[in-house]
Amino acid sequence: MATKVVVHSTFKRLFQVIGFAIVLAAALTGLKKIANRDSAESQAPVLTSERTDGAAASPTSTDANLIFGTSSVLDADTLEIHGTRIRLEGVDAPESSQRCGTLGQEWACGQHAALALSDWIGDKTVSCEVNGSDRYQRKLARCTVDGQDMQVWLVSNGWAMAYRAYSTDYVAAEEVAQAAKLGLWRGEFVMPWNWRKGERAVVP
């Protein structure tokens, strides 16, 4: 009878040891998973849309020579974007007070040119690549609207001239406008650079 008790007690202790071993193995497995997870999280990069120093995130474009936004047309070759005045490089348009045509048939060509450019831009975003500054501290730039070259549009529609003293990039566009008698080319006018020098006699 005593032998039976010993056997029963031995099996009971064996089951207890096995059960403890299973619990211990499960606990160790859980600890290992937690350790691996913590290690992976510590090595993973932190993704955030805000800088940790409290500064605003950088804009999409990091090019310091690119200015873009809604523009105001000051005259047909000068814009203002976010308070920065921009002179369209390579072209020359009539001044805002300039008049064209013959005596008795004059018209405000400077104002018409500016209005034509303003209507063409509308409320679209203007992008300008700055290449320097002029003596009036305006930014000299090549500008686009919806991917279209603003200077090409102005000159090919007769609202500005190729400014040959500084660039010959728009001579071909000017020849197109002249042949089609568009814009200023529909009549007589003084070249803008001569008008600024005081010339008022209208020449073809």
Q: How far is CA 23 from CA 12, 14, 28, in A?
A: 17, 14, 9
Catalytic residue among 50, 80, 85, 138: 138
Q: Active-site residue 50, yes or no?
A: no
User: Which is the catalytic residue, given 87, 89, 142, 174?
Assistant: 87
Among residues 13, 37, 95, 196, the one annotated as catalytic is 95
DSSP 109-151: HHHHHHHHHHHHHTTPPEEEEEEEE-TTSPEEEEEEETTEEHH
Output DSSP code: residue 158: T
Residue 28: count of CB within 10 angstroms of its CB: 10
- Concerning whether 95 is annotated as a catalytic residue, the answer is yes
Question: In what helix (H) or strand (E) does residue 67 lie, and over which residues does it extend?
Answer: strand 66-69
3-state secondary structure of 73: strand
Pairing of strands 66-69, 71-75: unpaired
Alpha carbons 71 and 121: distance in angstroms, whole number = 8
- Active-site residues, by number, are 87, 95, 138
